[in-house]
């Protein structure tokens, strides 16, 4: 089981990732006050999906307020080609990542993106977390191919995330085998698909460092709410 560690830093708070699974609450809108009441979200850190929220005036101020309330913020601006809503130029996206990383705890950028390396380099300079993510919404590639992605991505990343569509027990076994490997960085593994929602719990129990749940609406097939996920993980790992 992979137990490498990294830390999200937000002000004086430091959240260690890798020793135990941490729950990421995904936020798809910045319209409402967040958190709605003190201590409300059942998660360890908040992922702001800027590709879904749009860029409302003061978006970065709102993200900083979330951090001030106690939750490190992971900035994600997901490409449309990888399940997100970003269709504009990568230069604009890089500019947003650069601004965000100077204020927020971390960023998530796709392994296959042209800006993965500059985002990861800046994150390292600023002592922030960079999640390098790989997605396949159609299938689970062979184990050897995924191991190759991890081996390369871990040279830049703070955390490597592998998220694929599950269609069989064989696919599930492939992802489970990744968690048994020895890697340089913490590894997050996610199996997508409503029929495989149980892996949202079983993979963290096997060493996946992050578990993603939604705070307002699902952003991936088979995703649970952050509150559900936190409750079940606390039962499994008090």
Tell me the pLDDT tens digit for each residue of 150-189.
999 999 999 999 999 999 999 999 999 999 999 999 999 9
User: Mean pLDDT lowest for which of 31-40, 110-119, 123-132, 223-232?
Assistant: 31-40
The pLDDT of residue 46 is above 80: yes
The pLDDT of residue 10 is above 90: no
Provide the number of structural domains found in the chain: 1
Domain with 173 in it: 6-236
Contact 21, 208 (CB under 8 A): yes
The pLDDT-based confidence of 39 (bands split at 50, 70, 90) is low
What single string gives the DSSP state of each residue in 91-147?
A: HHHHHHHHHHHTTSSEEEEETTSTTHHHHHHHHHHTT-EEEEEEEESS----HHHHH
**Residue 65 CA to its chain's centroid (Å):** 20
* 1 is a domain residue: no
User: What is the mean predicted confidence (pLDDT) over 54-74?
Assistant: 92
What does the pLDDT look like over 219-237, one tens digit per residue? 877 788 999 899 988 887 6
110: CATH: 3.20.20.70
pTM of the model: 0.94
* 164 is a domain residue: yes
Question: Among candidates 24, 47, 45, 40, which has minimal Cα distance to 213?
Answer: 24
What does the pLDDT look like over 82-92, one tens digit per residue? 999 999 999 99
The pLDDT of residue 3 is above 90: no
**Which residues are the active-site residues?**
135, 161
The pLDDT of residue 36 is above 70: no
* 190 is a domain residue: yes
């Amino acid at each position: 089981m992979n137990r490498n560690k990294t830390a999200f830093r937000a002000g004086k708070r430091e959240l260690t990732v890798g020793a135990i699974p941490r729950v990421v609450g995904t936020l798809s809108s910045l319209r409402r006050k967040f958190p709605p009441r003190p201590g409300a979200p059942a998660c360890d850190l908040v992922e702001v999906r800027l590709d879904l929220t749009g860029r409302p005036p003061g978006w970065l101020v709102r993200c900083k307020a979330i951090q001030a309330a106690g939750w490190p913020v992971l900035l994600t601006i997901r490409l449309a080609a990888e399940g997100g809503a970003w269709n504009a130029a990568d230069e604009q996206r890089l500019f947003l990542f650069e601004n965000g990383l100077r204020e927020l705890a971390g960023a998530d950028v796709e392994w296959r993106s042209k800006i993965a390396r500059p985002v990861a380099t800046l994150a390292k300079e600023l002592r922030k977390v960079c999640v390098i993510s790989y997605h396949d919404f159609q299938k689970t590639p062979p184990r050897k191919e995924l191991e190759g992605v991890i081996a390369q991505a871990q040279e830049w990343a703070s955390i490597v995330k592998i998220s694929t569509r599950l269609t069989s027990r064989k696919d599930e076994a492939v992802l489970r085998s990744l968690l048994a490997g020895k890697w340089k960085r913490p590894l997050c593994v996610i199996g997508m698909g409503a029929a495989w929602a149980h892996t949202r719990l079983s993979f963290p129990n096997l060493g996946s460092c992050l578990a993603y749940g939604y705070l307002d609406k699902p952003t991936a097939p088979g995703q649970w709410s952050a509150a559900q996920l936190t409750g079940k993980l606390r039962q499994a790992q008090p």
